């Protein structure tokens, strides 16, 4: 089995971010997972334990000063070094703003090629095959990389596989040796604390979204109330975001987040093509809208033509009754 590098995103103090477990799970399905990170030396021991539990057979850590001052540079170097040392067949990174920067730079440094925004990975006749969901899930494509390191960015929340814990992984602490392009200078890192107890959009089993039909920022609490009774994440259409009902981070669609939950509930959303591109692969779609001709009904498994301000409060009560 070949070695598969997994880039571990870490906080400034060297703790893993949420992507680690899924990436190690995906790597274990392809070969031997090698976790790679650039962290302060004092964080190495605790990070090693976490990564072993999440399924890393080998752990390759490049140590950096705590206040690392260049965006991504140490990570690119760490992955480039590890890909040589472990003769890696692929490197998996999360498809996030910071890791995409690392992935692109790594492909140039190592003369590899990339396959981006991947939703599934498998091994087929000694080749790593990556699956993509294109044009909002209208198409599925498969790709691989020939003759070089395959650098893969993996869509957040797409991989369900998890690797078995490893009891005695090999751990290496290394210095940064490979020289790459300079990174942008980091001036500050401001933590963003999650205010809500709700699941994140990408991880949620159920998503309840509101659109222009919700009418105002104040009445968006209707969407939140239904989300809470369903244990769901809250989303929104671009129209609702543009009207300032909710922050842009909640936008579902072509230019926002793409979700694929078990249940998607669209409230007061017409279902423009750009919105459908972000949610049409949901297992079950429910829509409530007062416009009987809204395109959302063309893809809804259960559609209610009616007033959201009447139907949703009744639905909340009915769901509570069903659950008790």
Partner 1 sequence: MKIAVLMKQVPDTWSDRKLDLTTGQIDRTTAEQVADEINERALESALRHKDQDASTEIVAVTMGPTGAQAALRRALSMGADSAILVNDPSLAGSDMVRTALALASALRDIGPDLVLAGNESTDGRGGLVPAMIAEVLQFPHLPAVDRVEISDSQVTGQLQVEGAVVSVQSEYPALVSVTEQSAEARIPNFKGIMKAKKKPLDVKTLADLGIDVGPGAATAKSVMVGATERPPRNAGTKITDDGTAAQQLAEFLSSRRLLQNHQ
Judged by beta carbon, residue 174 or residue 228, the one nearer partner 1 is 228
Closest to 225 measured CA to CA, from 210, 239, 237: 210
Stretch that binds partner 1, among 28-36, 55-63, 82-90, 184-192 (CB under 8 A): 184-192
- Figure out which of the listed residues 32, 108, 198, 219 binds partner 1, where binding follows CB under 8 A: 108
CB-based burial label for 1 (10 Å; 0-12, 13-18, 19+)? exposed
Q: How many residues bind partner 1 (CB under 8 A)?
A: 103
Closer to partner 1 by CB, 103 or 166: give it.
Answer: 103
Specify the residue, 168 or 247, whose C-beta has the smaller distance to partner 1.
Answer: 247
Nearest to 294 by CA among 263, 257, 269, 321: 269
Contact 268, 292 (CB under 8 A): no
CA distance 81 to 244: 46
Q: How many residues does the chain have?
A: 324
* Residue of the chain from 32, 46, 85, 117 that contacts partner 1 (CB under 8 A): 117
Name the residue nearer to partner 1 (CB basis): 27 or 93. Answer: 93
Could you tell me which stretch among 31-39, 40-48, 60-68, 137-145 binds partner 1 (CB under 8 A)? 137-145
Long-range contacts of residues 242-245, Cβ cutoff 8 Å, at least 24 apart: 243/212, 244/217, 245/210, 245/214, 245/216, 245/217, 245/220
> 44, 116, 119, 214: which one contacts partner 1 (CB under 8 A)?
116
248-287: which residues touch partner 1 (CB under 8 A)? 248-249, 254-255, 262-263, 272-274, 277, 280-281, 284-286
Tokens of 202: 């990408």
Confirm if 162 and 25 have CB atoms less than 8 A apart: yes
CA distance 283 to 53: 31
**Site residues for partner 1, window 9-28 (CB under 8 A)?**
9, 11, 17-19
Give the one residue of 3, 50, 81, 115 binding partner 1; rule: CB under 8 A: 115
Q: Does 105 bind partner 1 (CB under 8 A)?
A: yes
Asked if residues 286 and 271 have their Cβ atoms less than 8 Å apart, the reply is no
Member of 71, 123, 178, 243 binding partner 1 (CB under 8 A) = 71
CB of 276 to partner 1, least distance (A): 9
- DSSP code, position 266: E
Indicate the pairing of strand 127-134 with strand 113-124: antiparallel
**Does residue 203 touch partner 1 according to CB under 8 A?**
no
Tell which phi-psi region holds residue 181, choosing left (phi > 0), alpha (psi between -120 and 50) or beta.
Answer: beta
Measured from the CB atom, is 85 or 117 closer to partner 1? 117
Residue 299 interacts with partner 1 (CB under 8 A)? yes
Site for partner 1 in 164-183 (CB under 8 A): 180-183
Among 101, 237, 260, 270, the residue binding partner 1 under the rule CB under 8 A is 101
Within 303-322, the residues that bind partner 1 by CB under 8 A are 303-307, 310-312, 314-315, 317-319, 321-322
Kindly state the DSSP code that residue 10 receives in the 8-state scheme: B
């Amino acid at each position: 089995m070949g070695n598969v590098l997994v880039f571990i995103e870490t906080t400034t103090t060297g703790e893993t971010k949420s992507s680690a477990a899924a990436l190690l799970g995906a790597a274990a399905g392809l070969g031997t997972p090698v976790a790679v990170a650039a962290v302060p030396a004092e964080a190495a021991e605790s990070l090693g334990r976490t990564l072993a539990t999440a399924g890393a057979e080998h752990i390759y850590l490049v140590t950096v000063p705590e206040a690392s001052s260049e965006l991504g540079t140490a990570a690119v170097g760490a992955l480039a070094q590890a890909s040589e040392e472990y003769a890696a067949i692929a490197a998996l990174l999360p498809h996030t703003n910071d890791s995409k920067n690392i992935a692109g730079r790594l492909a140039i440094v190592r003369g590899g090629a990339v396959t981006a925004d991947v939703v599934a990975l498998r091994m087929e006749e000694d080749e790593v095959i990556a699956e993509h969901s294109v044009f909002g899930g209208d198409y599925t494509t498969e790709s691989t990389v020939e003759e070089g390191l395959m650098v893969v960015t993996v869509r957040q929340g797409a991989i369900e596989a998890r690797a078995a814990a490893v009891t005695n992984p090999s751990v290496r602490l290394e210095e940064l040796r490979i020289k790459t392009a300079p990174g942008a200078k980091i001036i500050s890192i401001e933590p963003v604390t999650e205010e809500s107890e709700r699941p994140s959009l990408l991880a949620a089993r159920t998503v309840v979204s509101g659109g222009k039909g919700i009418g105002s920022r104040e009445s968006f609490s209707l969407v939140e109330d239904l989300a809470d009774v369903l244990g769901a994440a809250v989303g929104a259409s671009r129209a609702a975001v543009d009207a300032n009902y909710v922050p842009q981070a909640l936008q579902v669609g072509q230019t926002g987040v793409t979700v694929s939950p078990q249940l998607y509930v669209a409230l007061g959303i017409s279902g423009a093509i750009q919105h459908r591109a972000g949610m049409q692969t949901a297992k079950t779609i429910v829509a409530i809208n007062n416009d009987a001709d809204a395109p959302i009904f063309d893809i809804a498994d259960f559609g209610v033509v009616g007033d959201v301000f009447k139907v949703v409060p009744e639905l909340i009560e009915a769901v509570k009754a069903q659950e008790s």
